Structure 1
């Protein structure tokens, strides 16, 4: 697909996720700006009027709580961050609510942690909530639940959260908005920096230079590129540009950088969830032969290729799969608990009891990283 065709596809998408960073929502003093939110909502409403369902992933809870709490600088310790988020989530939701109320529209707040996405039933519950809000005409405002999230329970950033949400709800496009108008081959403040119009695969990122703000330049660009590639792995195309260009981004999409999906490498919903959202309850270590077999695709994992296990997992849990040198191979749903599997390691199928002859991880429930973009 040509870049122009993908942009037309994004412009006509019927269900989109729009992610906004904190810098898009605050003023020069770091306080949430109602004027900025109003402009964003105006653009979103124009898109909704064209028949598109819009789900918003919004940062800014901690920033929104700083003013009411009298905090002059962003807190560094976890407890104060969580306290600021607890206050800020209310103020931020009120700001979104006031703005959408100008159009007679209701919002619904959806707060998620990694633990919510990591358990399949909880992920389904989140999906159903977002879908129902959509169906009854409310705009879902999704944010990470910073009031309870610890380092072990975090998505890492709202860019990643937006990619997971977009895939979870089968969005037709993800629009990532920040303070940079696209992906550049180097820090955009450097002379000669060139905008990259489209990304089809990882090879299109060869030669992209590190900038002062991170791997790909300023504005947390590394996280945005990672999130864009994650979304495309789940079959969701991405447009990356600046919030200042939101009208164009949600209009004809003739701005910023587009990230293409790879239909030949698209993961189904379960495999995407297992690889990128699920909580792993244990580890399986494989020999070189088993690694070769499972990375070819379509091959189930048998006990004979497993050299070791870690963790107290149960049948049906998601486990991490590692190679001989501890390299991460993929993830899968294990068919046995840890105790039973320990007695099966390294054995050929004909050496096992009849009830132990099914694969340890069936090919349908095994996803590997070998085909990452």
Structure 2
């Protein structure tokens, strides 16, 4: 067994994400047998000594049958209404199923605002940590009853990656109706499953752009993006089929394993890179890109060629190269209105109050392409 799979199998704290299609019937109702099978695997992992956080989709899908809806609604208001009913259905099902093992569960509903805002981020972190310390299995979901397009995660795969970092998880397991990452569409018969992903080079040829199921939102593209996010942040990841949950949470000998980056980002750098909501963008010349990304230097006004967006000093902005590819994020030290008169100018040509760095190296995170 590879070192990555061994780390996942032995992880003291693991986040597990399960998709809607793995918990519901084709008609949209919650499938008790599937849910119980998942809980069996989670409880076995708890018995083996690991702490477990479950990120569960299925609230909207669970509300369809009680409301007499034949398919997942497209309008936001009906989705929220379905989630309002479905959260209770899903929560009760988890309480009952985990009770078979004398395990308690606690529901945690999040929006991306809870991760983007630093104060909310710390509150969510404390709540989850305390639940784990009390022996509770946290069941996390996006708060679909109030979420809007502006503050939604987009899918629970990304939410799971964020939660994995938030709680300091030692592994992330993404369960769905696909048994791993393939180099093509597995429904066409000529695709091959990728067993291990050591780095970006192993997935550069992969086209994982098929849509999600009718009952969910996350296809393989979202799982690949979330696996790369978590592994870059230092968390090993396993993508596997929900039907293989016992193996995925046991010896981890199924699915596709993603090796973790050897260095885990600090909480502040992770927030800058993946959680913060950028308010604008600065375009850099080639020399500034080399300094910021290659040598991890501060960004000076001389290296900026254009300013986009409305932002204030202390906001997070994206830094892009001359082709508008985002190469870094950082906390800007100037308001957007101040920068146009400074860009392209050497520090010694500026007034003393404008000679400070535009983005200091301590507040800057290079991003991989």
TM-score scaled by structure 2? 0.92
Per-residue Cα deviation, 1:11-40 (whole angstroms, up to 9, x for no partner): 110000000000111124221122221221
Per-residue Cα deviation, 1:329-354 (whole angstroms, up to 9, x for no partner): 22101122333444433332223333
Alignment of 1:186-265 (within 5 A): 186-208=184-206, 213=211, 220-263=219-262
Shift of 1:209: 5.1
Alignment of 1:141-152 (within 5 A): 141-152=139-150
Quick check: 1:234–1:269 contact (8 Å CA) kept in 2? Answer: no
Q: Report the equivalent of 2:156.
A: 158
Q: Residue 247 and residue 318 in structure 1: after superposition, are their counterparts in 2 closer, same or farther (change >3 A)? A: same
Structure 1 window deviating more from structure 2 (280-289 vs 174-183): it is 280-289
Alignment of 1:111-122 (within 5 A): 111-122=109-120
Q: Runs of 5+ in structure 1 lacking a partner?
A: none
Structure 1 window deviating more from structure 2 (219-228 vs 252-261): it is 219-228
Shift of 1:301: 0.4
Quick check: 1:186–1:211 contact (8 Å CA) kept in 2? Answer: no
Q: Report the equivalent of 1:182.
A: 180
SS at match of 1:184: coil
Q: Report the equivalent of 1:348.
A: 346
Q: Report the equivalent of 1:280.
A: 278
Shift of 1:240: 0.9
SS at match of 2:30: coil
SS at match of 2:162: helix
Distance 1:78 1:169 in 2: 30
Quick check: 2:209–2:220 contact (8 Å CA) kept in 1? Answer: no
Q: Report the equivalent of 1:15.
A: 13
Alignment of 1:163-174 (within 5 A): 163-174=161-172
Structure 1 window deviating more from structure 2 (74-83 vs 97-106): it is 97-106
Distance 1:96 1:297 in 2: 49
Per-residue Cα deviation, 1:99-129 (whole angstroms, up to 9, x for no partner): 1222222211111112221112211211111
SS at match of 1:166: helix
Q: Report the equivalent of 2:67.
A: 69
Aligned CA RMSD, in angstroms, stands at: 2.0
Distance 1:42 1:107 in 2: 14
Quick check: 1:115–1:279 contact (8 Å CA) kept in 2? Answer: no
Q: Residue 359 and residue 205 in structure 1: after superposition, are their counterparts in 2 closer, same or farther (change >3 A)? A: same
- Equivalent residue for 1:365, pick from 349, 363, 366: 363
TM-score scaled by structure 1? 0.91
Structure 1 window deviating more from structure 2 (65-74 vs 50-59): it is 65-74
- Equivalent residue for 2:308, pick from 307, 310, 317: 310
Aligned pairs, number: 364
Shift of 1:248: 0.8
Quick check: 2:284–2:319 contact (8 Å CA) kept in 1? Answer: yes
Distance 2:358 2:321 in 1: 16
Distance 2:66 2:84 in 1: 11
Q: Report the equivalent of 2:333.
A: 335
Q: Report the equivalent of 2:41.
A: 43
Moved over 6 A (4+): none
- Equivalent residue for 1:25, pick from 20, 23, 26: 23
Q: Runs of 5+ in structure 2 lacking a partner?
A: 213-217
Q: Residue 210 and residue 300 in structure 1: after superposition, are their counterparts in 2 closer, same or farther (change >3 A)? A: closer
